Amino acid sequence: MNYRYLGNSGFKISEITYGNWVTHASQVGDDAAVATVHKALDLGITTFDTADTYANTAAEVVLAKALKGQPRESLEIFTKVYWPIGRKGPNDQGLSRKHIFDGINGSLRRLEVDYVDLYQAHRYDYETPLEETMQAFADIVRQGKALYIGVSEWTAEQLREGHALSKQLGFQLVSNQPQYSALWRVIEDKVIPTSEELGISQIVWSPLAQGVLTGKYLPGQPVPEGSRATDEKSGANFIKRFLRDEVLEAVQKLTPIADGAGITVPQLALAWVLHNPNVAAALVGASRPEQLEDTVKASEITLDDDAYAAVNAALAGVAETDPAKTYEVSPASRPA
């Protein structure tokens, strides 16, 4: 497993990071989740990403169970705050000082740790002054409850404003966690250049476009039984936008590119993401331990420029590149 620095810091994380968004306490049972985390550890993954909202806090509990007995100093544990949790009352969401402190204390309790390595704003909160949010994060860092602060799906302008405040308040904003894949490239025009300027890394989610970039979904064919596209709890609605025949036909063009490089199509898709130097890690999930065997090997692959260009050519016309999409992710108001 290779490691990369997170932002302009001395903190390193594994290039392949394990995420438990739609698996733990949702798609798979606890025993399978624990076995998959143990497999991730065996394969060299030491960085684990979760959020309080996943399975309405239950995913954090399962991750704690899976990591029990591991030396804390050998792990990098990330979680997030923003979406409604628990009773989902008016203060059980957003990035107010109250919810951030309730959030970090609840996450630490569920994860059974004294601190998290990275605490992330899961979206931008338009209803809370940014100064209030960043002051709360600064206080959490000073209290030792989080070592670093990151965000998720912030626009270039929001990153710039947040970075400036973090400097004033004496802590580092080191990361952004956006969706990014060879099919979803909306951060390339503004978010990545701004992040490079500010010393902020990307920790990207859905690098396989919810599994579409594995090549297992075929044009004109029913989706495979047991796949994510058939499971409402594991993102079936989210994946629908990629299940158009023109997209699936373009993805099939990746097979000869992968064959020529001597790798699998999923490895090609992950290596494509890691080809970008601003990407610190690709988030992967798994419902079975053996699924990680293939994807983890992407950390050993350095994709040459010709193969990278070939992927771009194969997906030209179906990959989403509109930077305006980055402004559509955070809700204009907190969820009801």
Q: Which residues carry out catalysis?
A: 54
Q: Are 36 and 69 within 8 A, CB to CB?
A: no
Work out the burial of residue 54: count CB atoms within 10 Å of its CB; fewer than 13 is exposed, 13-18 middle, 19 or more buried. buried
